[in-house]
Chain A
Amino acid sequence: MIAALLLVVLPLLGALAALALGHRSALAAVLVAATGTALGAWLAFFPGAPSGHLWGDYLTIDPTSRLFLLLINLIFLGVVGHIRGRMQRAPEVLDGIERFIALALAFLAAANLSVLSNHLLLGWLALEATSLAAAPLVARRGTASAVRAAWGYFLFSSVGLGITSLGFACLARSLEHSGAEPVFFFDQLRALASAPPDAWREVGLALVIVGYGTKLGLAPMYSWLPDAYEEAPPSVTAMLAGVQFNCALVGLLRILQVYRDGEPRMVSVALLGIGLASMAVSTFSIIATHNYKRLLAYASINHGGVIAIGLGLGGRAAYGLVLYVVSNAFIKAILFLSAGKIDDHYGTRDMREVSGLIKDLPASGLFLTVGTFALLGFPPFGSFLGELLILSALMRAHYVLVFVAFCGLLTVTFVATGRSIFPMIWGESKKPAPNQGLLTAPIKLVFVAALVTMGVFLPHPVSSLFVDVAASLGGVR
């Protein structure tokens, strides 16, 4: 149980230490992230690792928290590796770096707490704390557009989470009306969720879905995401897309673990609608944009839409959904960190002004290529298998129209993304780099290896963890 508490306490101590360490703070962050990853791996795969509740039942170690703790700490390790590499290559980032690192570590502490939480409000508060820590990170560049993006990010975050808390209050009213004592612990809620549905519960669930959907960047409240992902430094974008996205998703997963069986139709309709709408708006935006960072941001909305559809399908798509979610986190980390290097090198985000990446920046070009293939759902990556399982679940559930719309939007996204990204990679060389720093290459290689492993063969402890998480969403063991 100490391991779980360390995941929250260590980053907080690291944040305090970072303020005192100055330029060496990145090393502290790497150490904290590496320890967090090791603890996450131990909790996820070691047979003797603790499980159950702790800290007066406020925290829980279950398959969902095990998987996501490992995932977000691993992504964070990649992010701090990137920051350390940047510090060595670009001295200008050293200005205020200790504050940046301290906020990033505070963000990690809150993220770990939100994943560990067994209490609706504690998880919500921790998620809100991640937004408070992340807003100054988004505005790090200090330009007018970066500050406005940070404002948009924070405003939508707080409004989305406000709507979520209103949803919680409605769910509490529903319990009160059914004669039960309102509680906020997930395990106790599961026992009470079998009460007949009422208007309070329907409204509450709808508000929670819309609220968490805002945090996930889903339609209709997605407009903050392209601006924030474009304007934030690449390390922060990777944190938002790979860490915070998953924390919000865990919040939504836990709500669905409790309430899906009581309101299956309402949950399915809401999530399928939001998912398709998100895919549609992102597809049209991908076609229109010439900015590669924005394209990746729209692709994130698109993936969020696929995940919402997977959630809407419930148990039938649960395993595919887990594969897709984990793949999505690695893909986003690879792509956004690579996009940051491309932006640094060429000094532009206009994809028409970038070409010959594979010759100019071989490592970044290669990672962008692999990441794009994974993004588009090519085999042998986990995203391919995940998408295939979600599509097959759509057919088995007889959602033929949704299936057709899903395939149509996916095809257009595929063509539009390929048309934009591949000329950047294969075109004529424009600005060869003397030698590219490879400090973050090992961790990105780990991400690529994880993506391939998920698409080809999952070793037993990993597959068993995925199956357990899928089972908590109604999937068959």
Chain B
Amino acid sequence: MTSLLTGYMLVLLLPLFVASWRVSLTGLSLQGLLMAWMVLVRRPALSVDLVVTLVDLVLVRGLVAPLALRRVLRSQRRPSREDVIPPNLLSWSIVVGLVMLGFQCAAWLHPAAGGEHAQVAAAATGVLLGLFVLASQNGTFSQAVGALRLEYAIALFELGSPTHLPVALRLAQVSIFLGTVLTYAHYVGRLRSTELAAPAARIQ
């Protein structure tokens, strides 16, 4: 595993054990920036495709997504503690188990050891952990973080693919992701205020 992927795994895992929204958002930001670094290491030749990929990874994933959520949370004056997974031994054990499962998946899908194998393992682990965060939390912010973790892991997986899409389609992809992130931020802000104002009553 390269040092960049090792760094990626660290920023993937550490925020799960530190119950702070600032750490979660920093982790997301670092994931985006590390993926951009991986792209630069692999594809140094300048092209439109490279520029769009860097805009996606550095600007949108590395900066806009975490900052949009940070702005909402700061405006709500949220306490710094925000558990992304339940803080107990069972959850931590599940995380360790999912990391092992991610590596097992990579061994099954891509048996040959090497950089690509490690990238598939990191992406599979990211997907599984994203789904775990989504499954274990009810809070809007934690769910948004879970969904974003999943999206980032998919982006890491796609970095390893040799497929080149037309620039228009890549731009549309980035725009849709940006729209998704801003919608997440909107609901993280709006749900907090509406929930505090009026708890829901429902006929089952």
Task: Report whether A147 and B172 are in contact in the complex, using a CB–CB cutoff of 8 Å.
Answer: no
Task: Report whether A159 and B191 are in contact in the complex, using a CB–CB cutoff of 8 Å.
Answer: no
A142 to B191, CA, bound (A): 10
Task: Report whether A158 and B162 are in contact in the complex, using a CB–CB cutoff of 8 Å.
Answer: no
B residues 144-184 near A (Cβ < 8 Å) are: 144, 147, 150-151, 154, 157-158, 161-163, 165, 169, 172-173, 176, 179-180, 183-184
A155 to B140, CA, bound (A): 10
Task: Report whether B183 and A166 are in contact in the complex, using a CB–CB cutoff of 8 Å.
Answer: no
Q: Among the listed A144, A166, A172, A290, which residue makes an inter-chain contact with B204, where contact means beta carbons less than 8 Å apart?
A: A290
Q: Among the listed B108, B109, B134, B187, which residue makes an inter-chain contact with A154, where contact means beta carbons less than 8 Å apart?
A: B187
Contacts of A252 in B (CB 8 A): none
B182 to chain A, nearest CB (A): 9
B134 to chain A, nearest CB (A): 7
Task: Report whether B162 and A182 are in contact in the complex, using a CB–CB cutoff of 8 Å.
Answer: yes
| A360 on the B face (CB < 8 A) | no
A119 to B172, CA, bound (A): 14
A230 to B203, CA, bound (A): 10
| A169 on the B face (CB < 8 A) | yes
Given contacts A125-B169, A148-B195, A182-B161, contact A199 B109 (CB under 8 A): yes
| Interface bits A137-162 vs B (CB < 8 Å: 1, else 0) | 00000111101101100110011001
A166 to B156, CA, bound (A): 10
Contacts of A166 in B (CB 8 A): 127, 154, 157
A203 to B183, CA, bound (A): 30
Q: Select from chain A the residue with minimum beta-carbon distance to B197.
A: A144
A67 to B161, CA, bound (A): 35
Given contacts A128-B176, A158-B147, contact A182 B195 (CB under 8 A): no
| B29 on the A face (CB < 8 A) | no
Given contacts A125-B176, A135-B183, contact A176 B169 (CB under 8 A): no
B147 to chain A, nearest CB (A): 5
Q: Among the listed A147, A162, A294, which residue makes an inter-chain contact with B150, where contact means beta carbons less than 8 Å apart?
A: A162
| B194 on the A face (CB < 8 A) | yes
Task: Report whether A144 and B194 are in contact in the complex, using a CB–CB cutoff of 8 Å.
Answer: yes
Given contacts A143-B198, A144-B197, A349-B203, contact A125 B187 (CB under 8 A): no
| B202 on the A face (CB < 8 A) | yes
Q: Among the listed B144, B158, B169, which residue makes an inter-chain contact with A169, where contact means beta carbons less than 8 Å apart?
A: B158
| B199 on the A face (CB < 8 A) | yes
A145 to B198, CA, bound (A): 9
| B31 on the A face (CB < 8 A) | no
Contacts of A90 in B (CB 8 A): none
Given contacts A144-B195, A148-B191, A166-B157, contact A132 B200 (CB under 8 A): no
Task: Report whether B161 and A155 are in contact in the complex, using a CB–CB cutoff of 8 Å.
Answer: no
Task: Report whether A172 and B176 are in contact in the complex, using a CB–CB cutoff of 8 Å.
Answer: no
Point out which of A129, A142, A148 has the most chain B C-beta atoms below 10 A from its C-beta. Answer: A148
| B125 on the A face (CB < 8 A) | no
Contacts of A135 in B (CB 8 A): 183
A408 to chain B, nearest CB (A): 24
A129 to B169, CA, bound (A): 13
Q: Among the listed A169, A203, A290, which residue makes an inter-chain contact with B154, where contact means beta carbons less than 8 Å apart?
A: A169
Contacts of A125 in B (CB 8 A): 169, 172-173, 176
A230 to B202, CA, bound (A): 10
A288 to B204, CA, bound (A): 8
A461 to B27, CA, bound (A): 57
A119 to B127, CA, bound (A): 25
A143 to B198, CA, bound (A): 8
Task: Report whether A162 and B191 are in contact in the complex, using a CB–CB cutoff of 8 Å.
Answer: no
| Interface bits B16-41 vs A (CB < 8 Å: 1, else 0) | 00000000000000000000000000
Contacts of A151 in B (CB 8 A): 140, 187, 191
| B53 on the A face (CB < 8 A) | no
Given contacts A125-B173, A166-B154, contact A173 B147 (CB under 8 A): no
Task: Report whether A172 and B161 are in contact in the complex, using a CB–CB cutoff of 8 Å.
Answer: yes
Given contacts A121-B169, A147-B187, contact A162 B200 (CB under 8 A): no
Contacts of B173 in A (CB 8 A): 121, 125
Task: Report whether B204 and A289 are in contact in the complex, using a CB–CB cutoff of 8 Å.
Answer: yes
Contacts of B200 in A (CB 8 A): 143-145, 148
Task: Report whether A169 and B150 are in contact in the complex, using a CB–CB cutoff of 8 Å.
Answer: no
Task: Report whether A147 and B190 are in contact in the complex, using a CB–CB cutoff of 8 Å.
Answer: yes
Contacts of A143 in B (CB 8 A): 194, 198, 200
| Interface bits B91-109 vs A (CB < 8 Å: 1, else 0) | 0000000000000000011
Q: Select from chain A the residue with minimum beta-carbon distance to B134.
A: A159
A349 to B184, CA, bound (A): 29
Task: Report whether B165 and A291 are in contact in the complex, using a CB–CB cutoff of 8 Å.
Answer: no
A162 to B169, CA, bound (A): 16
A148 to B127, CA, bound (A): 25
| A350 on the B face (CB < 8 A) | yes
Contacts of B158 in A (CB 8 A): 169
| A45 on the B face (CB < 8 A) | no
Q: Select from chain B the residue with minimum beta-carbon distance to A290.
A: B203
Contacts of B172 in A (CB 8 A): 122, 125
Task: Report whether A291 and B204 are in contact in the complex, using a CB–CB cutoff of 8 Å.
Answer: yes
| Interface bits A218-238 vs B (CB < 8 Å: 1, else 0) | 000000000000100000000
Task: Report whether A121 and B165 are in contact in the complex, using a CB–CB cutoff of 8 Å.
Answer: yes
B35 to chain A, nearest CB (A): 14
Q: Among the listed B150, B169, B195, B202, which residue makes an inter-chain contact with A159, where contact means beta carbons less than 8 Å apart?
A: B150
Contacts of A154 in B (CB 8 A): 183-184, 187
B67 to chain A, nearest CB (A): 19
A401 to chain B, nearest CB (A): 30
Given contacts A128-B180, A154-B183, contact A173 B161 (CB under 8 A): yes
Contacts of A142 in B (CB 8 A): 194
A230 to B201, CA, bound (A): 13
7 A–B contact pairs at CB < 8 A? A129-B179, A135-B183, A144-B199, A154-B184, A162-B154, A172-B163, A173-B161
Apart from A142-B194, A144-B200, A176-B161, list 20 A-B contacts with CB within 8 A. A132-B176, A132-B183, A144-B194, A144-B198, A148-B194, A150-B187, A151-B187, A151-B191, A154-B187, A155-B184, A162-B151, A166-B154, A166-B157, A184-B163, A184-B165, A200-B109, A203-B109, A289-B204, A294-B203, A350-B203
